[in-house]
Amino acid sequence: MPLIYGMNINQTTPEAYTYSDVLIKPRFSEQLHRSPITLSTTIGNHHLPFPVISANMKDVTGPKMATLMSIEGGLGILHRFKDVQGAVDDFKETSKYNGPRAGVSLGVQEEDKYRFEELYDAGARIFCIDVAHGHHLLTMNMLHWINNEILRWDRGARNKVTLIAGNVATPEAYEDLVEWGADAVKVGIGPSPVCRTRYNTGVGVPQLYALQTIHQASMSMKTPKSIIADGGLSSPGDIAKALKYADAVMLGSMLAGTTETPGNVYRNEEREFYKVYGGSSSGENKGENRFVEGAIKMVKFQGKAKYIFKEIREGLQSTFSYVGAGNPQEFKNNCEFVHISAGARGESRI
């Protein structure tokens, strides 16, 4: 049976596609109102009422955004572009207001073991191992080390910790990260508007296709782990499409211009307000002047992020009602994609 409505089942090389290549096919619904529709999900060992995670990027998630994400029922993951004491201070500032639900970020170098220990001692229990290419020996080593450390310290602590790892874009990578000890896997190589990986290296997999193939792989596993769609999302409709296969989405560019993101608000020559947004592999974030795979761009100032979250929440509830779903699992089961042409894409304004 074809996975995408309207695609040729006999094609030997399946067409790889992304969000703007499909629409969600409506179907009979018995949902009378949006309000009873739940969006809650589980990421690793943590429950989220709202399936949205703010990206662990320097220009997206600091303490203010992480605090707001917890209030909204989602998750904010603090970035790793600070020294260890700065990362601990940011986590403590966030946990003052809402408890220890904020996530924290690690790299895969030897010094990141000390970062993990200090953040764990500070109360952090959601860790994101964040590298451009997660299907890598160093990621494996870090996951093995963390799992062994948790068990060494406290055998009862493992089910209270969530380890997120990525980024990857293939089923093989997802399966390996799960085997290495990840509780959730971040999917996305190059779909972000500030990521230059595909342009500079030619490497990547169109995002919706990557999510589909990884979700297929997870369904054949005895204990599948959570999937996080990271990058390429520009609207609530894109988020809905991602949730066909993912358990949550990670947002960067959609939140980059909001009040709660780190950084200043500037005014350009046209007297328009903007903020600066850069990919995690940009020179500004790395503090380096060499070949990098991230870009810096100006984004329009958008005001408070709570209004974006309201639009996303209501948009997702409407999407679920269009396919007769009352929760994310029903949506996954009921959602069917229609593969669209360039003309249909223009008609749909996506």
- The ranges assigned to domains in the chain are 44-298
Torsion angle of the four alpha carbons 197, 107, 103, 36, in this order, in degrees rounded to the nearest 10: 30
Looking at residue 10, its pLDDT comes to 47
Average pLDDT over residues 276-294: 55
At residue 292, does pLDDT exceed 60? no
Higher pLDDT, 201 or 280: 201
pLDDT 10s digits, 119-151: 999 999 999 999 999 999 999 999 999 999 988
pLDDT 10s digits, 161-210: 999 998 999 999 999 999 999 999 999 997 777 777 777 788 779 999 99
C-alpha distances out from residue 306 to 72, 121, 260, 301, Å = 8, 31, 9, 14
At residue 30, does pLDDT exceed 60? yes
Report the C-alpha gap between 106 and 272 in whole angstroms. Answer: 36
Higher pLDDT, 275 or 321: 321
**DSSP letter, residue 308:** H
- The CATH number of 44-298, from 3.40.50.300, 3.20.20.70, 3.40.190.10, 3.40.640.10, is 3.20.20.70
Residue 267 zone, left/alpha/beta (φ > 0; ψ -120 to 50; rest): beta
Torsion angle of the four alpha carbons 83, 88, 93, 97, in this order, in degrees rounded to the nearest 10: 140
At residue 312, does pLDDT exceed 80? yes
pLDDT 10s digits, 51-91: 999 999 999 999 999 999 999 999 999 999 999 999 999 99
Tell me, yes or no, if the pTM score tops 0.85.
Answer: yes
At residue 29, does pLDDT exceed 60? yes
Residue 56 exposure: Cα atoms within 13 Å on the Cβ side: 29
Token pair belonging to 46: 């943590």
At residue 35, does pLDDT exceed 80? no
At residue 229, does pLDDT exceed 50? yes
Pairing mode, strands 296-300 and 273-278: antiparallel
pLDDT 10s digits, 241-278: 999 999 999 999 999 989 999 988 888 888 887 788 77
Residue 166 burial by CB count (10 A; 0-12/13-18/19+): exposed, middle or buried? Answer: buried
Report the C-alpha gap between 50 and 19 in whole angstroms. Answer: 21
At residue 2, does pLDDT exceed 50? no
Q: Is 338 helix (H, G, I), strand (E, B) or coil?
A: strand
Contact between 184 and 167 under an 8 Å Cβ cutoff? The reply is: no
Report the C-alpha gap between 158 and 162 in whole angstroms. Answer: 8
Higher pLDDT, 22 or 266: 22
Contact between 197 and 216 under an 8 Å Cβ cutoff? The reply is: no
Which entry of 43, 189, 195, 316 is annotated as an active-site residue?
A: 195
195 is catalytic: yes
pLDDT 10s digits, 91-109: 999 987 766 579 999 999 9
